[in-house]
Amino acid sequence: MSEKRDYYEVLGVDRNANAEELKTKYRKIAMKHHPDRNPGDKEAEEKFKEAAEAYEVLCNPEKRQMYDQFGHRAFENGGAGQQGGFRDFEDIFSSFGDIFEDFFGFRTGTRGGRTRAQRGADLRYDLTIEFTDAAFGKETELELEKMETCDECRGTGAKPGTAPETCDQCRGTGQFVRTQGFFQVKSVCPKCRGQGKVIKEPCPKCMGRQQVAAKKKVDLKIPAGVDTGSRLRLAGEGEPGVNGGPAGDLYVFLRVKQHDVFERRDNDIVCKVELSFIQASLGDEITVPTLTGEETVKIPQGTQYGDIIKLTNQGIPSLRTGLPGDELVEVVLKTPKNMSKRQEELLREFEKLESEKITSRIKRIFTKSGTSSSKAAK
Ligand SMILES: [Zn+2]
Ligand SMILES: [Zn+2]
């Protein structure tokens, strides 16, 4: 499989192209490589599909945002052997029927306008995951209730052994034509509601609705590095299509739980450690938590409040590049409380030495400046 081209490049637009530009460019490309104009031309066919796939993503604000965020990886989860969600031409035509209708003045690919294939609805699933699952990724299973194509009638809506019959009122066209003066007025056939077919004996399981509600388990691979607000797309796991149309997609919206110890800043993780002012002054070796366990860290002499000790590559991997962030250990200082008499004495002595140090420094400066000014006075 060759490397996938960037969707913006495929359509020849820049990254902030608006919906109108996208549509115009896509129409141009689709017109050029349309299978009706290039029968049997494999390359044109590939180009036509490639453009449809790019347009399908970029014309949908949600998918476009995901693509901008994750690139092609945004849609890898779908599996089921489909790239970008289109199975064949029929699929493309049924998704963008309106656009092709504009080109040719009729709907291509829907075979005469009746029993129009319709894409199933997209579904949303909200999932809360643990902080560490976001950091390392996880494979999990979702259980959802959604409509499925009825297995009893295999989606025809007719009782097994029978088949939908051609509507006698519209003779299968799905349209009802009335003559009004000089005009012919077309409307949707009331008997078959535009389907062109009527079901004499409905399927007992779906009552002719072609679909039934069912519980379904779906495998989900959460990539390492996701964060609250990340969305994963599972192609074809939405509601099933109608009349042979493709299924919609399932979007999983992620929320990442907070961690007891770590706070996330992009791909870095931050944790605070408390040190006594003695430890910070003299230096020490301490154990800090990491995402995988713990690590010993050297505290240098003279560490200050707010200083940050960096543990390189101990953060969360970037969703885009896979490169890990860092762990930042932020120092918080504790001052001693309820000191004993002796401790207090020692601190007072310490303070005395500190102020002597300062006094002698000031004296030195004073003497220096004193001599220089006396020199200048001469
Ligand atoms: Zn009819
Ligand atoms: Zn059924």
Determine the distance separating the centroid of ligand 2 and the alpha carbon of 153, expressed in angstroms.
4
Ligand closest to Cα of 159 equals 2
Which residues, 6 or more positions from 194, have their beta carbon under 8 angstroms from its beta carbon?
A: 114, 116, 174, 175, 188
| pLDDT, greater one: 362 or 229 | 229
Is there a domain that residue 119 lies in? no
pLDDT value of residue 107: 36
Q: Which of 276, 275, 282 is nearest to 302 (CA)?
A: 282
Residue 209 has pLDDT above 80, yes or no: yes
pLDDT value of residue 293: 94
Is there a domain that residue 192 lies in? no
Ligand closest to Cα of 175 equals 1
351 and 313, same structural domain? Answer: no
Residue-wise pLDDT tens digits, 117-143: 788 889 999 999 999 999 999 999 999
Ligand closest to Cα of 149 equals 2
Determine the distance separating the centroid of ligand 2 and the alpha carbon of 77, expressed in angstroms.
30
Ligand closest to Cα of 197 equals 1
Total number of domains constituting the chain: 2
Is there a domain that residue 71 lies in? no
Q: H or E element: which one contains 148?
A: strand 138-149
Determine the distance separating the centroid of ligand 1 and the alpha carbon of 177, expressed in angstroms.
11
Among the ranges given (17-21, 193-197, 233-237), the one the predictor scored with the smallest mean pLDDT: 193-197
Residue-wise pLDDT tens digits, 22-50: 988 888 888 888 877 777 888 888 888 88
Residues 292-298, mean pLDDT to the nearest whole number = 95
Is there a domain that residue 246 lies in? no
Among the ranges given (186-190, 327-331, 335-339, 365-369), the one the predictor scored with the smallest mean pLDDT: 365-369
Provide the pLDDT confidence category of residue 244 given band limits of 50, 70 and 90.
confident
> Which residues have CB atoms below 5 A from the ion given as ligand 2?
150, 152-153, 203, 205-206
Determine the distance separating the centroid of ligand 1 and the alpha carbon of 88, expressed in angstroms.
28
Which range marks the domain in which residue 353 is found? 345-372
Determine the distance separating the centroid of ligand 1 and the alpha carbon of 242, expressed in angstroms.
17
Residue 79 has pLDDT above 80, yes or no: no
Is there a domain that residue 277 lies in? yes
Residue 170 has pLDDT above 50, yes or no: yes
Residue 369 has pLDDT above 60, yes or no: yes
Residue 102 has pLDDT above 50, yes or no: no
Q: Distance from CA of residue 288 to its chain's centroid?
A: 32
Determine the distance separating the centroid of ligand 1 and the alpha carbon of 114, expressed in angstroms.
9
> Distance between CA atoms of 141 and 126, rounded to whole angstroms?
13
Determine the distance separating the centroid of ligand 2 and the alpha carbon of 86, expressed in angstroms.
25
**Beta strand 123-129 pairing with 250-256:** parallel
Interior CA angle at 317 toward 314 and 320, to 5°?
A: 155
Ligand closest to Cα of 193 equals 1
Q: Tell me if residue 268 falls in helix, strand or coil.
A: strand
351 and 329, same structural domain? Answer: no
Ligand closest to Cα of 206 equals 2
Percentage of the chain lying above the pLDDT 90 cut: 44
Instruction: Return mean pLDDT, the chain.
Output: 84
363 and 322, same structural domain? Answer: no
CATH number, position 289: 2.60.260.20
| pLDDT, greater one: 285 or 358 | 285
Determine the distance separating the centroid of ligand 1 and the alpha carbon of 204, expressed in angstroms.
22
Determine the distance separating the centroid of ligand 2 and the alpha carbon of 42, expressed in angstroms.
38
> Distance between CA atoms of 71 and 245, rounded to whole angstroms?
27
| pLDDT, greater one: 199 or 131 | 131
Residue 113 has pLDDT above 70, yes or no: no
pLDDT value of residue 218: 93
Is there a domain that residue 215 lies in? no
318 and 357, same structural domain? Answer: no
Ligand closest to Cα of 165 equals 1
Percentage of the chain lying above the pLDDT 70 cut: 85
> Distance between CA atoms of 51 and 325, rounded to whole angstroms?
36
Among the ranges given (66-75, 129-138, 173-182, 239-248), the one the predictor scored with the smallest mean pLDDT: 173-182
Residue 153 has pLDDT above 70, yes or no: yes
Is there a domain that residue 23 lies in? no
Residue-wise pLDDT tens digits, 300-358: 999 999 999 999 999 999 998 999 999 999 999 999 889 999 999 999 999 999 888 88
Determine the distance separating the centroid of ligand 1 and the alpha carbon of 113, expressed in angstroms.
12
Question: Which residue's structure tokens are 């009335």?
Answer: 178
